[in-house]
Structure 1
């Protein structure tokens, strides 16, 4: 999981809002079945897209303020940020090809 960052209230501004690269944030929880299916896919994409997009996770149970701030109603929610703004959101489990397509769209590849 070396390429996956853990985002929280303490590092959110620096790691997500001020990032030079686009950022994919996986809002998840340990008890969420679909989140457990998406997790390994997100980790794989982080390794394959290193240098193109930063990818990290937010545990919504531990970071309820962030989940509320971005209106996270269902998980997994995969939110893409660029230049400090959310530019795309995907709710629910997605396959690797769908997520790679979204990464390519956001990163301009």
Structure 2
């Protein structure tokens, strides 16, 4: 599955995210469309995916005060990338600045 450029219209519930990551490797990206740091990370994500990691599902979650999913993951800064596999968080990158770091984390969850 390619990188997802759009934030989800509705926030998924935590159980659904955990279950989804049991079916496919999953990257949950927390941020906001108006956040300049989040926007700066988008080209890095594009480079990291770059036609690879077809089995990794990418969900972008618009986070903010009172958003249950972000609080369940204890998100404090944006963007926060949570890499999941088999219902568990495997790795987390906060405010990534290097596509190689994202690519390496994707490779660790996408061992197809």
TM-score, normalising length from structure 2?
0.76
8 Å CA contact 1:24–1:55 kept in 2: the answer is: yes
Q: Distance in 1 between matches of 2:14 and 2:46?
A: 19
Q: 1:1-109 to 2 correspondence within 5 Å?
A: 3-4=3-4, 6-7=7-8, 8-10=10-12, 13-14=15-16, 16-19=17-20, 20-43=23-46, 45-46=48-49, 48-61=51-64, 64-108=67-111
Which runs of no fewer than 5 residues in structure 2 stay unpaired?
Answer: none
Aligned residues: 107
**In 2, Cα distance between equivalents of 1:50 and 1:73:** 27
Partners of 1:35 and 1:76 within 8 A in 2: yes
Structure 1's unaligned 5+ residue stretches are: none
Deviation at 1:46, TM superposition (A): 4.5
**What value does the CA root-mean-square deviation take over the aligned residues?**
2.6
TM-score normalised by the chain length of structure 1: 0.77
